[in-house]
Structure 1
Protein backbone atom coordinates (compact mmCIF):
# COMPACT_ATOMS: atom_id res chain seq x y z
CA UNK A 1 0.00 0.00 0.00
CA UNK A 2 1.11 3.56 -0.60
CA UNK A 3 0.60 4.51 3.05
CA UNK A 4 2.90 1.67 4.16
CA UNK A 5 5.58 2.80 1.70
CA UNK A 6 5.35 6.39 2.91
CA UNK A 7 5.72 5.31 6.54
CA UNK A 8 8.58 2.90 5.77
CA UNK A 9 10.42 5.48 3.65
CA UNK A 10 10.17 8.00 6.46
CA UNK A 11 11.59 5.57 9.03
CA UNK A 12 14.41 4.44 6.73
CA UNK A 13 15.39 7.91 5.51
CA UNK A 14 15.52 9.97 8.66
CA UNK A 15 17.11 13.25 7.67
CA UNK A 16 17.07 16.71 9.06
CA UNK A 17 16.04 19.76 7.09
CA UNK A 18 19.70 20.77 6.80
CA UNK A 19 20.58 17.35 5.30
CA UNK A 20 17.82 17.50 2.69
CA UNK A 21 18.94 20.14 0.16
CA UNK A 22 15.97 19.41 -2.14
CA UNK A 23 13.56 20.43 0.60
CA UNK A 24 11.74 23.74 0.49
CA UNK A 25 12.44 26.24 3.23
CA UNK A 26 9.52 27.05 5.53
CA UNK A 27 9.48 30.68 4.32
CA UNK A 28 8.72 29.43 0.79
CA UNK A 29 5.78 27.46 2.14
CA UNK A 30 4.54 30.59 3.91
CA UNK A 31 4.83 32.66 0.71
CA UNK A 32 2.99 29.99 -1.28
CA UNK A 33 0.30 29.73 1.38
CA UNK A 34 -0.19 33.49 1.41
CA UNK A 35 -0.38 33.88 -2.37
CA UNK A 36 -2.78 30.98 -2.75
CA UNK A 37 -4.97 32.30 0.06
CA UNK A 38 -5.25 35.70 -1.62
CA UNK A 39 -6.67 33.96 -4.69
CA UNK A 40 -8.89 31.71 -2.58
CA UNK A 41 -10.13 34.58 -0.45
CA UNK A 42 -11.16 36.66 -3.44
CA UNK A 43 -13.10 33.62 -4.66
CA UNK A 44 -14.73 33.17 -1.25
CA UNK A 45 -15.55 36.87 -1.06
CA UNK A 46 -17.28 36.83 -4.45
CA UNK A 47 -19.25 33.64 -3.75
CA UNK A 48 -20.23 34.83 -0.25
CA UNK A 49 -21.42 38.15 -1.65
CA UNK A 50 -23.47 36.43 -4.36
CA UNK A 51 -25.09 34.15 -1.78
CA UNK A 52 -25.71 36.72 0.96
CA UNK A 53 -26.01 39.97 -0.96
CA UNK A 54 -24.20 41.71 1.91
CA UNK A 55 -20.61 42.83 1.53
CA UNK A 56 -19.93 42.98 5.29
CA UNK A 57 -21.03 39.37 5.80
CA UNK A 58 -19.04 38.26 2.76
CA UNK A 59 -15.95 40.08 4.03
CA UNK A 60 -16.30 38.44 7.46
CA UNK A 61 -16.53 34.99 5.92
CA UNK A 62 -13.58 35.68 3.61
CA UNK A 63 -11.45 37.00 6.50
CA UNK A 64 -11.95 33.92 8.63
CA UNK A 65 -11.41 31.71 5.60
CA UNK A 66 -8.13 33.48 4.78
CA UNK A 67 -6.56 32.90 8.19
CA UNK A 68 -7.69 29.34 8.84
CA UNK A 69 -6.90 27.99 5.40
CA UNK A 70 -3.50 29.67 5.23
CA UNK A 71 -2.52 27.91 8.46
CA UNK A 72 -3.86 24.58 7.21
CA UNK A 73 -2.07 24.99 3.87
CA UNK A 74 1.26 25.71 5.60
CA UNK A 75 1.10 22.47 7.58
CA UNK A 76 -0.13 20.58 4.52
CA UNK A 77 2.92 21.80 2.55
CA UNK A 78 5.33 20.96 5.36
CA UNK A 79 3.90 17.44 5.63
CA UNK A 80 4.18 16.82 1.86
CA UNK A 81 7.74 18.13 1.96
CA UNK A 82 8.59 15.18 4.23
CA UNK A 83 7.12 12.62 1.83
CA UNK A 84 9.74 11.13 -0.49
CA UNK A 85 7.18 9.68 -2.91
CA UNK A 86 7.24 11.37 -6.30
CA UNK A 87 10.46 13.32 -5.74
Structure 2
Protein backbone atom coordinates (compact mmCIF):
# COMPACT_ATOMS: atom_id res chain seq x y z
CA UNK A 1 0.00 0.00 0.00
CA UNK A 2 2.73 2.48 0.93
CA UNK A 3 4.79 1.30 -2.04
CA UNK A 4 1.82 1.99 -4.30
CA UNK A 5 1.64 5.54 -2.95
CA UNK A 6 5.34 6.04 -3.71
CA UNK A 7 4.88 4.76 -7.26
CA UNK A 8 1.83 6.93 -7.85
CA UNK A 9 3.78 9.93 -6.57
CA UNK A 10 6.40 9.37 -9.28
CA UNK A 11 3.69 9.18 -11.94
CA UNK A 12 2.01 12.40 -10.87
CA UNK A 13 3.46 14.89 -8.44
CA UNK A 14 0.22 16.49 -7.31
CA UNK A 15 -0.76 14.82 -4.06
CA UNK A 16 -3.48 16.57 -2.15
CA UNK A 17 -2.05 18.39 0.84
CA UNK A 18 -3.70 18.11 4.23
CA UNK A 19 -4.74 21.10 6.34
CA UNK A 20 -1.16 21.92 7.36
CA UNK A 21 0.26 21.61 3.85
CA UNK A 22 1.82 18.16 4.25
CA UNK A 23 1.56 15.57 1.53
CA UNK A 24 1.21 11.86 2.36
CA UNK A 25 4.68 11.21 0.90
CA UNK A 26 6.15 13.37 3.68
CA UNK A 27 4.49 11.10 6.23
CA UNK A 28 6.04 8.10 4.47
CA UNK A 29 9.52 9.67 4.62
CA UNK A 30 9.08 10.53 8.29
CA UNK A 31 7.87 7.02 9.06
CA UNK A 32 10.86 5.46 7.30
CA UNK A 33 13.45 7.64 9.01
CA UNK A 34 11.92 7.11 12.44
CA UNK A 35 11.68 3.36 11.89
CA UNK A 36 15.38 3.12 11.08
CA UNK A 37 16.15 4.66 14.47
CA UNK A 38 13.52 2.54 16.22
CA UNK A 39 14.65 -0.67 14.53
CA UNK A 40 18.26 -0.17 15.57
CA UNK A 41 17.04 0.27 19.13
CA UNK A 42 14.88 -2.87 18.89
CA UNK A 43 17.77 -4.86 17.41
CA UNK A 44 20.12 -3.88 20.25
CA UNK A 45 17.57 -4.46 23.02
CA UNK A 46 16.46 -7.79 21.48
CA UNK A 47 20.07 -8.95 21.21
CA UNK A 48 20.70 -8.23 24.89
CA UNK A 49 17.52 -10.08 25.88
CA UNK A 50 17.77 -13.19 23.66
CA UNK A 51 21.53 -13.27 23.08
CA UNK A 52 21.18 -14.36 19.43
CA UNK A 53 21.71 -11.98 16.52
CA UNK A 54 19.49 -14.08 14.20
CA UNK A 55 16.50 -13.90 16.55
CA UNK A 56 17.15 -10.24 17.33
CA UNK A 57 17.23 -9.50 13.58
CA UNK A 58 13.94 -11.32 13.04
CA UNK A 59 12.30 -9.37 15.86
CA UNK A 60 13.68 -6.08 14.52
CA UNK A 61 12.49 -6.86 10.97
CA UNK A 62 8.92 -7.59 12.02
CA UNK A 63 8.98 -4.54 14.28
CA UNK A 64 10.17 -2.35 11.40
CA UNK A 65 7.36 -3.33 9.06
CA UNK A 66 4.47 -3.25 11.49
CA UNK A 67 5.40 -0.03 13.23
CA UNK A 68 6.15 1.82 9.99
CA UNK A 69 2.62 1.14 8.76
CA UNK A 70 1.10 2.03 12.13
CA UNK A 71 3.10 5.27 12.31
CA UNK A 72 2.00 6.32 8.82
CA UNK A 73 -1.68 6.04 9.70
CA UNK A 74 -1.10 7.60 13.13
CA UNK A 75 0.60 10.58 11.49
CA UNK A 76 -2.15 11.01 8.89
CA UNK A 77 -4.81 10.84 11.61
CA UNK A 78 -3.09 13.50 13.73
CA UNK A 79 -2.82 15.77 10.69
CA UNK A 80 -6.62 15.91 10.62
CA UNK A 81 -6.84 17.24 14.19
CA UNK A 82 -6.72 21.03 14.52
CA UNK A 83 -6.01 21.06 18.28
CA UNK A 84 -2.61 22.52 19.15
CA UNK A 85 -1.90 23.96 15.71
CA UNK A 86 -1.14 27.61 15.10
CA UNK A 87 -3.49 29.17 12.58
CA UNK A 88 -6.41 27.10 11.40
CA UNK A 89 -7.14 27.17 7.68
TM-score by length of 1: 0.76
* CA distance in 2: counterparts of 1:23 and 1:78, whole angstroms: 12
**Count of residues paired in the alignment:** 70
Q: Which ranges of 4 or more aligned residues in structure 1 deviate by more than 6 Å?
A: none
Going from structure 1 to structure 2, the CA distance change for 1:54 and 1:77 (only over 3 Å counts) comes to same
Going from structure 1 to structure 2, the CA distance change for 1:62 and 1:25 (only over 3 Å counts) comes to same
Residue 27 of structure 1: CA displacement?
0.4
Q: Which has the higher helix share?
A: 1
| SS at 1:33 equivalent | helix
Which of 1 and 2 has greater Rg?
1
Match of 2:63 in 1: 65
Q: Name stretches of at least 5 consecutive residues in structure 1 with no aligned partner.
A: 1-16
TM-score by length of 2: 0.74
Going from structure 1 to structure 2, the CA distance change for 1:86 and 1:50 (only over 3 Å counts) comes to same
Alpha-carbon RMSD across the aligned residues, in angstroms, is 1.4
Higher relative contact order (CA closer than 8 Å, sequence separation 6+): 1
